[in-house]
Amino acid sequence: MIDFEIVKVFKRSVTIEVCCDTPYENKKIYDIFINGEKKISINKNVISIFDLLPDNDYNIYITCENEDSDKKNFHTEYEYVLLNVKDFGAAGDGVKTDSVCIQAAINACPKDGTVYIPKGKYLCTPVFLKSNIDLWIDKDAILIGEKDRKKYPILPGMTQSSDENDEYNIGSWEGNPLDCFAALITGISVENVLIFGEGILDGNAGMLDWWKDAKKKNIAWRPNTVFLHNCKNIAMQGLCIMNSPSWTVHPYYSDNLLFLNNTIMNPDNSPNTDGLDPESCENVLILGADISVGDDCVAIKSGKYYMALKHYKPAKNIVIRNSIFRKGHGSVTIGSEVAAGVYDVSVEKCIFEGTDRGLRIKTRRGRGEKSVLDNICFENIIMKDVCMPFTANMFYFCDPDGHSDYVQNQDKMEVNEKTPKIGKIAARDIRCENVKNIFACLYGLPEMPVEEIVLENITLNFDKNENIKPVVPIMMDNFPTMCKRGIFAKNIKKLILKNIEITGSKDSNPFMENIEDCECTGVSFN
């Protein structure tokens, strides 16, 4: 019997999740039927169906070879009106700039309405969302970022309130309240919005100079492709987002977010083009994502020291499931901008394929005492061709002072209001194939050791290629290059290694230093 759950029903679409033991996909093909009609044949565990009608009854069931599921009923949401952007003057020819026409449709759309973008190429500067509407980007519809940065509005980083007793933050750049260009799709203090369809959001960064002199501000800092600030109840479903100038999808100080069946693609050499970066967000669900980028695929953040001090909001309750992460520096990363802390992260039933690192935790002195990373759990993961499956680094060199003695000194320093903390991290039921450099590289601060790391039920084999280039596994000064190493662990209060089988390592003696309590059972090197 096939079992599945209806994840979310919208006006014109639905997302389901098949209960399958294998991460992300099944070896067999599912046939999905809506009201008795086959809608799609697919092997993915998370499936979105489009082209439904609003305010209608439907039933859905699945067949797979000789197995069937039960029928489940659902009713699509009510829609008041459908507004076609071409009726507002949008050309969709890739020549005329259509953002004013699209913005007019959004501004005119009433509550419970949908703005419809049909097939075509829509050259755009940033458009801004409003509450209580849907934005439907249909199949073969492409929103393309305008090439001239001077046509992009700027989001001010911080503005003092009129009574001088407060401040208002809009723009953000790498954890600080700095002026940045607005994103192709920008939402500021909006709620109850769905952005959906099988269309494309193309940031068009490669056609301009967004990726050149990446660390240099040019008028303002580079835009995201989707930026959601102080938003609630937002969903993105089915879209392809590509060629982003910087972090691709950036929810910021936002809550109750759904990301369903989205694909994010940036060139693997494009700078700072993280895939999906929830920053200081709560209650985030990422399902069925397919991400390949030039930096971290998913990076969970909570700002730098100033934002944690003045606008404290940790990231918490984040679930990532049945997704695949391909090229990138890290598959799922916590950090490094985590000054307000990150709590309760669950990553399960995912495939990491070809990324530099799998689980990547990065922080540093200066993030502050509110920077606590705790209850991070990875389960049922397959890693293929991941160079370094597990890394935790509390000496991460970032920011102008990243190479300073304060950040990089490996001697024990005073614990104060600038000292970060890593709590409990667990990774269980993991299979790693063709690892290149090191299984686990875990480095806490001597004055603030990592509280607990659990690695359990893990099988790992190293790449048989004898010509693999040694690399530095974590970004800290004076750390050695490594190749086919097993375990490096330093400055950890409690380390639990249980039922781990490592094949093809060049060493069979884990390096461990300043580990207060180590429980090691069933660990073998073959």
Which residues on adjacent β-strands are paired with residue 188?
229
Widest CA span in the chain: 69
Write the DSSP symbol of residue 465: -
From the candidates 290, 329, 356, 374, which is the catalytic residue?
Answer: 329
Whether 329 is a known active-site residue: answer yes
Instruction: Say how far apart CA 152 and CA 169 lie, in whole Å.
Output: 19
Instruction: Say how far apart CA 350 and CA 380 lie, in whole Å.
Output: 7
Q: Which amino acid is at 441?
A: C
Query: Are the beta carbons of 378 and 426 closer than 8 angstroms?
Result: yes
**The tokens 């790449």 sit on which residue?**
463
Of the CA atoms within 13 Å of residue 334, those in its CB half-sphere come to 37
Query: Are the beta carbons of 94 and 64 closer than 8 angstroms?
Result: no
Work out the number of other CB atoms within 10 angstroms of the CB of residue 48: 24
Write the DSSP symbol of residue 153: -
Instruction: Say how far apart CA 463 and CA 506 lie, in whole Å.
Output: 11
Q: Which amino acid is at 344?
A: D
**The tokens 């929810």 sit on which residue?**
251
Residue 413 structure tokens: 């320093």
**The tokens 């046509």 sit on which residue?**
151
Whether 250 is a known active-site residue: answer no
From the candidates 255, 295, 356, 374, which is the catalytic residue?
Answer: 295
Of the CA atoms within 13 Å of residue 235, those in its CB half-sphere come to 23
Q: What angle do CA 215, 219, 220 make, to 5 degrees?
A: 65
Instruction: Say how far apart CA 371 and CA 335 lie, in whole Å.
Output: 10
Catalytic residues: 295, 329
